[in-house]
Structure 1
Amino acid sequence: MAKRRPTWTRRKAEALADSRAVLGSAEALIARRLRRVHARTDWTLEGWDALCEAAAAGPVIFAVWHGRLAMTPWMWDRSWGPIWSVTSHQRPGRIVGGVLGRFGWETVRMHDTRRNDRGTLTLARAARAGASFGIACDGPIGPARRMSSVAVDWARVTGAPIFMWSYSVERYSTLPSWDRLIVPKPGGAGRMVWKRWGEIGRRTDPAEMEVLRARLEADLDELTDGTDRAMGHAGPIDRA
């Protein structure tokens, strides 16, 4: 059966949803809520000192699960230097990029299925200029907690160390999305964890890169699940 062509009303509605006025309002609302959550949560920070030491020596690469993106604005201190994130060209990705921009992050949009030569060149220039990177390792379309090779690839190219990062909170809800995105609520306690994972040599061969990718996936799972347990949850809160 042939696909139905979008109606005029639907096209206008989609154009409105993609307008800067609508996207900007959504970004401002989300950023305001995240600031409120951060300010009204009693945070415990684990591994922050190790990150400070690494940041003093140069850029780092963060490995994060997509379901834990909400609190990433506090993953890095912007006074240490620029940090970049890759976002999708799809509407949710553009909103995420806009929200991060309100916290001083730089973002580059990548297509989910097409070549991204221009975006890759932008990131390469940023890396040469000493930027750090935050990578949602199972984004932008999943499957959830299935790690792509992006983090280990960029670590090999740049020589920057990989830091795993995650957070958990007492009070939260989850979105009915592929990643079960955690939406923290104000109040209660929270925990952010940074853990240095290591560096990858420039001459690492493809077989070893796959071994490292699988190891990083398992280690980030363990870190994230352990953060949930430390907050008193019986299991991973994005898998409930």
Structure 2
Amino acid sequence: MLKKVSRSLALIFVPFIGSLIIRFLYLTNKKNFYAPQTITDKPVIFACWHGELLMLPYLYKFYRKKPHAKVLISPHFDGKLISRTIKYFGLETLAGSSDKNSARVLIQAIKSIKEGYDIGITPDGPKGPRHEVADGIIVMAQKTKTKIVLVSVKPTKFWQLNSWDKFVIPKPFGILNYYASSEIDISEMEIEEARSLLKEGLLKHES
């Protein structure tokens, strides 16, 4: 009972506080965007590693002044916290993971793309292995012939959690380096070729 109450309270307060912290970290850091200035008006799949998810909403805002995206998030409790947090940035979510309801969420994501939504996805989420590209993003892109933009967020000052994804939290008063690739078309690639290309692109800015 106590756990249920504490979780209910967390779902009310943590997302709001989290959104304020994300805004504070963004405002107190200098920003560099190493990215194409514009992308297509058609739906795009934005992909980043799970450990770099925190500051992703601002890269999306760089391209879409009016948010129209759904982010694939784990259905577990921590995923619910993330889902409610990013709603403060105008982003919707789809609940699913590689080990639970994977087919259902893939169908929902494909439907959302056809309805005009961009999709945000962490190819190694929600549980890893870290920096390994799962099949979902490849199937999604090939079924809809949607192009992919690979995103990396590299702060110069940060805390790194001792979690499976080595989750990165920027410190204030540093520099946020945002990297985004040109649009990538994998619609005609074999699955392993596509996987290698996406992994290489996402690891391009690792130190």
- Helix, strand or coil: the match of 1:96? helix
Superposition RMSD in Å: 1.8
Identify if the C-alpha distance between structure 1 residues 161 and 117 changes in structure 2 by more than 3 Å, giving closer, same or farther.
closer
Residues 67 and 182 in structure 1, CA contact (< 8 A), matched pair in contact too: yes
2:7 matched to which residue of 1? 18
| Counterpart among 168, 173, 193 of residue 211 in structure 1 | 193
Aligned residue type for 2:200: A
2:139 matched to which residue of 1? 153
TM-score where L is the length of structure 2: 0.91
The 5 A counterparts of 1:42-191 are: 42-49=30-37, 52=38, 54-56=39-41, 58-77=42-61, 78-116=64-102, 118-191=104-177
- TM-superposed deviation, 1:116: 4.4
Larger radius of gyration: 1
After superposition, give the CA deviation of every residue in 1:148-201 in whole Å (9 maximum; x if it has no partner).
Answer: 122221111222211110111122101111101001111122210111251122
- Helix, strand or coil: the match of 1:173? strand
- Helix, strand or coil: the match of 1:108? strand
- TM-superposed deviation, 1:112: 5.0
1:4 matched to which residue of 2? none
Residues 34 and 178 in structure 2, CA contact (< 8 A), matched pair in contact too: yes
Residues 109 and 140 in structure 2, CA contact (< 8 A), matched pair in contact too: no
- Whole-angstrom CA distance in 2 between matches of 1:17 and 1:82: 32
Aligned residue type for 2:192: E
1:198 matched to which residue of 2? 184
TM-score where L is the length of structure 1: 0.79
Aligned residue type for 2:26: H
Residues 147 and 217 in structure 1, CA contact (< 8 A), matched pair in contact too: yes
Moved over 4 A (4+): none
- Helix, strand or coil: the match of 2:60? coil
After superposition, give the CA deviation of every residue in 1:81-137 in whole Å (9 maximum; x if it has no partner).
Answer: 511111111111111111111110010111553334543443232111111111111
Identify if the C-alpha distance between structure 1 residues 114 and 189 changes in structure 2 by more than 3 Å, giving closer, same or farther.
closer
Residues 97 and 125 in structure 2, CA contact (< 8 A), matched pair in contact too: no
- Helix, strand or coil: the match of 1:198? coil
- Whole-angstrom CA distance in 1 between matches of 2:89 and 2:14: 15
- Helix, strand or coil: the match of 1:16? helix
| Identity rate, percent | 23
Tell me, yes or no, if structure 1 residue 38 matches structure 2 residue 38.
Answer: no
- Whole-angstrom CA distance in 2 between matches of 1:48 and 1:32: 28
- Whole-angstrom CA distance in 2 between matches of 1:25 and 1:162: 34
Structure 1 unaligned regions, length at least 5: 1-11, 226-234, 236-240
Residues 110 and 140 in structure 2, CA contact (< 8 A), matched pair in contact too: no
Identify if the C-alpha distance between structure 1 residues 87 and 192 changes in structure 2 by more than 3 Å, giving closer, same or farther.
same
Structure 2 unaligned regions, length at least 5: none
Give the number of the structure whose residues are more often helix, by fraction: 1
With 188-197 and 71-80 compared, the bigger mean Cα shift is at: 71-80
